[in-house]
Structures are given as C-alpha cells and as structure tokens.
A and B are shown apart, each in its own frame.
Chain A
C-alpha cells in the first residue's frame, strides 16, 4: 500500500473537496476501506448475518430442547404418542415409519426411526458440525500459516522439505486419506505423548479435516510471503536488527492477514462439507455425538419411508455452507479486490 489516500480505490468514499482544512481529512485504514466495500455488498452481508443466526440458533439448542420439545437429542420415544390435530398418533408407527414434520410443538421436524425429535437433534447436530468446521479451520490456518511463513521466509532446504510434504498430502486422495485415518483412529483413539484422544472424540475428525486442507492454504500463503520477502520494508527490518521470528510475525504476517481471513471463512465451508462426507461414510463423527452428516447417514437408510430425515439435515448443511461461501466471496472482494484467491475444494 503505497501512495496517498486519494489514490486508493475506494468506491463510495467521495474525494475530499477543495477548501477543506487538512486536519478534517480522516486517515482511512485499509480495513476501513474494506468495510466500506463490504457494506455495499448487501447479499454477502445478508448471508454473513444468516450464518451468525444459524450459529446462535444452534447454540440455543438446550433452550428449545428444554422449553419447547421437552426432550434431549438422544432420548428415544419409540412407544410414545403425540397429539396431532386432536388425535393421538404414534411417534413411530408400528410399521416403523416415524412421524413427519408438522406444527405439533414437539417433533416440529418429525421424529427419526428411534423416535428422537429431529428438530432437537438438528440443533445439537449443528453445534457439532459447525464446531468441527471452525475448529478444523483453525487447525488448518495455524499449520498453513506456519508452513507458508517458514517456506517463504527461509526458502532453501526448509522450503524444499516442507513443500515436498505438502505435495504428498496434496496428491493423497482426500476422501480416502480421511476415511483411512478416520476408521483406524476410531478403533483405538490417538495417543501422542501425554495427550490421549478417545476413538469417539470429535477431535479426531477435526484433526483429520484440519490436516488434509493444509496444502490448499499453505501454497498461496507461501507464494505471497516469497514475493513480500523481497520488498524494501523487510530489508529495512533486517537493517534494524530484527530477528527472523519478529520479521515473520510483525512484518510479513500482517501483510497476508486478509488472505488468511478469506481462506479461513471459505475453509470452514469446505470443512463442513468434508465432515458430512466422512460422517456419511462412517469415518467421521461417532455416536453418540450427532452431526448433520451422521443424521443424513442414519436417515438415508429410511429415505423412501421418511425422506425428511435425509432432506432436513442436508438442507441445513447447504444453507450454512452457502452462507459461508457467499460471505467469504464478498469478503474477498472487499479485502482485496484484485486478489487471486479462489475457492478451493
């Protein structure tokens, strides 16, 4: 960012009219300009709000469970009856068909084959799905930034080794790697030093998903760092006697932060899709935890008799992932209008 404020492309900000005292001109940071651009993109903002709303609703799951549905996400009600239009009906009819969606307070979105309230499970499952998406995105981001900084700053053999490792992960069939790790780790859990993760912990899918997407994010960051490293301000920092770590953290990192933010947002979306795929194939979230992916996997067995069990959680995935994708897209346009960051999958 060189040049005065007036040169920076900033739609929506009128130029300073002649005759205005210089001290009336407010300094505008790149973040402020980005916010101005984002604010103009109503669609992106709308979807950003939608995502936050979905998160809040899922966080409020216990409220719905306790005060409206009066049941927990894992409570079975196979033999219960519920009032529908003044008539008592089985939650799960004797032939095994669960009740469908309808305005009957409890079982707003119907029940599943075990008589569990789909709405309650959906809210709790959403917590798991979104938590995995965000946590895995954090894992990916931390690792990718580390790899990108080290490769781009040190170059040479550090870059060569880390880049080759990235190549290997890149060439791995993502789903197969995820499934292989997911199935084996679920059997015995994971023990690294004093840290033990049990086989049914959600941290296993988080680690797997976080790991497989590292190259997709590390490569572009590395490229940016490689270019930034040649800039004069790095030379100036070296001349001031700053060490490599301080240069990486306080000189290089702030310059790639907008890339990181955009990738982080889009990465959550991709993670949620991968989580649902792994769970569908039985290599993701383990029971008793429910996620939208496992709900589809369960519901799909009965798709012909109870399609709502498949449709409802899938629709939630689409809605959440779409909101993140649209918001991330707008964020990219706002933060870096000329950026080449693209949706990876």
Chain B
C-alpha cells in the first residue's frame, strides 16, 4: 500500500513537471510570440521592448526563466505580466465560485445519472429506455456554451425566471447563491448526465447477467432489492472512477465555458481573460492548478477503486 502510494506520488510529480515544461515551451519557443513584444504593445520601440524584457527576466536563458517561474509558483510569488497581480491570490479568489459551480453541478449530474441510468436499465428496450437514451445522446451532443447561451436567453431574458448571470458568494446570501447558480449547474451537468446514465445503463445490464444476481434471485430476495443492493451498487464502481476523473477535469479548467457565458468570476474565467492577453504566468498557474486536480483525482480514484473492488491488487501496476 505504501509502495503503491509513493509510486503514484512520484508519477504525479513527473506528470506535473512535464506539463509545466510543455506550457512553458508553448509560450516561449513557438516563433513570433515574444512576450516582451506583446506586453510592450504593437508600436513599441526596441528600447522599450528591451526594458520590458529585462524587467521580466526574459533576457535570461530559457532554463533560468523556467526555474524562476517554478520557484515563483512554489513560493506563491508568481505575478501576471499584464496586470502585475499575484497569480496564486487570483486563483484562490476564484476558487469559491469555481467550486460552488462544480460541486453543485456534480451533485446534480450524479443524482440524475443514477436515476436515469437505473430507469433505463430496468426498462431496457422499452419506451422509457428509448426516450432516456435519446435524451442522453442529445445531452452529449450539445455544445456547453451554446446551451448556456440558450438557457440565458430563454429563461433569464425572455421568461425572466432566473437572474442573468454573475455569481453571489455563499457567505453573502445563500439563497441568492443557489438561485444564481441554478442555470450554470444545469448547463455543466447536462453532458455528464447523458454520458454517465449511458455508462450506468450498460454496466447494470452486464451485472444483471452475473451469477450472484441469479443466486440472490434464487434466495427469494425481491427484485427491487436485487436491483438496488446487488446490481446498482456493483454497477457504480466504474461510475465512481469516471466521476473522479471528470470532477478533477471540471475543476481544473473544464468549467471555463460555463464560467465565461454566465460571467462567473472563477478560475476558468480568470484563465480565459489571461488567454485574451496572452499572459503566460496566470495561464501557467491555472494550467498547473488544473493538471494538479486532474492528476490528484486520478490517483484518488486508483486508490478508491482498489478499495471498492478487492479483486484489484494495489501491488500490481495500475492500468496505464
């Protein structure tokens, strides 16, 4: 167990290191994207560019620049080129909004996916199943930002049922917090509801053919009990794996579209603005933050998986 954990941690660090190098290279090696030139503006004279370059340490070697940036990330002193704000602080400031959005959406998508997947599997081939299957496929086919825009237009602007965008902190007014987040939650959840309910449905259909289900039936346990206690429970294991990965990905930058359209001042919107001004430090910070979440949840899921399914032995190499 300890060996497994240590190996996973080393793997995590290696992946994060590789990602930081790639992000750094994307912004430094690709031709014609000299940051000093960009920051100094279009019509800057060479002297100004040189000064900006010296100020930001861009005249040093690539390796030194990379090491400086990493040092700043770890000491929390990374600052934006464009606005000279502290990147760590900005991410920290955006975190409550992003987590509010992601956790709420996650609760919604898990609950709906379990209900829809269960109903679909139990009524496999029937009308309910067909309808839910079509809805699920529509759900995974809708561009997130478009759904957000349509919901905003019809429900907020036309029908005026929901407020138009922006975020109210939970500590300020819990009622308004939830009210303002209903549409973003739905938007972010739709894709995953469609995807998870499909996976759960096919898992459940697989499990229903297992021997232990037949045994349970032979013991005289009611069909409802079998479905919930034996079938649903065992079908949830792969879903939990998926959930870990997707939740990590959503917190780590996946919510950028939802945050942009609903104007939620979270980490994603911060990254979006940094992209607009090609500001490397915030992007580096947010990408590392996102990758960290993804890798972290990957690892958590691997460990959790071993607990949920004793057939998987931790000593063996995790499936790559």
Q: Do A and B come from one complex?
A: yes
Query: Which A residue sits closest to B143, measured CB to CB?
Result: A276
Interface window among B63-71, B144-152, B180-188:
B144-152
- Of all A-B residue pairs in the complex, the 9 with the closest CB atoms, nearest first, are A188-B32, A173-B253, A314-B146, A173-B290, A322-B141, A321-B141, A163-B320, A176-B253, A168-B18
Minimum C-beta distance from B58 to chain A (A): 15
Instruction: Evaluate contact between B150 and A311: CB separation under 8 angstroms.
Output: yes
Binary contact track B186-223/A, C-beta < 8 Å → 1, others 0: 00000100010011001000000000000000000000
Instruction: Evaluate contact between B141 and A269: CB separation under 8 angstroms.
Output: yes
Q: A172-B294, A273-B141 are in contact. List 15 more A-B contacts (CB 8 A).
A: A163-B320, A168-B22, A175-B254, A176-B256, A179-B271, A184-B33, A185-B30, A280-B145, A282-B276, A310-B150, A311-B150, A318-B141, A318-B143, A321-B143, A322-B141
Instruction: Evaluate contact between B283 and A343: CB separation under 8 angstroms.
Output: no
State whether A171 and B30 are in contact (beta carbons under 8 Å apart), knowing that A345-B191, A345-B195 are contacts in the complex: no
Q: Name A's B-contacting residues (CB within 8 A).
A: 163-164, 166-168, 171-177, 179-181, 183-185, 187-191, 219, 223, 269, 273, 276-277, 280-283, 293, 296, 300, 303-304, 307, 310-311, 314, 317-318, 321-322, 325-326, 329, 342-343, 345
Query: Which A residue sits closest to B32, measured CB to CB?
Result: A188
A137 to B286 alpha-carbon distance, docked (Å): 28
A173 to B275 alpha-carbon distance, docked (Å): 14
Q: For residue B140, which residues in chain A have a CB less than 8 angstroms away from its CB?
A: 325, 343, 345
Q: For residue B143, which residues in chain A have a CB less than 8 angstroms away from its CB?
A: 273, 276-277, 280, 293, 296, 314, 317-318, 321
A180 to B138 alpha-carbon distance, docked (Å): 29
The answer to whether the Cβ of B272 comes within 8 Å of any Cβ in the partner chain is yes
Minimum C-beta distance from B193 to chain A (A): 12
A284 to B206 alpha-carbon distance, docked (Å): 40
Instruction: Evaluate contact between B271 and A176: CB separation under 8 angstroms.
Output: yes
Q: For residue B294, which residues in chain A have a CB less than 8 angstroms away from its CB?
A: 171-173
- Contacts of B265-293 to chain A: CB distance below 8 A: 271-272, 275-276, 278, 283, 286-287, 290-291
- The main secondary structure of chain A at its interface with chain B is helix
Q: Which of A174, A281, A314 contacts B260 (CB 8 A)?
A: A281
Instruction: Evaluate contact between B19 and A171: CB separation under 8 angstroms.
Output: yes
Query: Which B residue sits closest to A319, measured CB to CB?
Result: B141
The answer to whether the Cβ of B92 comes within 8 Å of any Cβ in the partner chain is no
Query: Which B residue sits closest to A160, measured CB to CB?
Result: B320
Q: For residue A164, which residues in chain B have a CB less than 8 angstroms away from its CB?
A: 14-15, 18
Instruction: Evaluate contact between A187 and B153: CB separation under 8 angstroms.
Output: no
Instruction: Evaluate contact between B32 and A173: CB separation under 8 angstroms.
Output: no
Q: Which of B15, B30, B146, B256 is packed against the most chain A CB atoms within 10 Å?
A: B146
Minimum C-beta distance from A323 to chain B (A): 9
Binary contact track B117-154/A, C-beta < 8 Å → 1, others 0: 00000000000000000000110111111100110110
A276 to B278 alpha-carbon distance, docked (Å): 20
Q: For residue B145, which residues in chain A have a CB less than 8 angstroms away from its CB?
A: 276-277, 280, 296
21 sampled A-B residue pairs with Cβ under 8 A = A163-B320, A164-B18, A166-B320, A171-B298, A172-B294, A175-B256, A176-B253, A176-B283, A179-B271, A180-B23, A184-B26, A187-B33, A188-B31, A189-B32, A190-B30, A277-B145, A314-B150, A317-B146, A322-B138, A342-B198, A345-B140
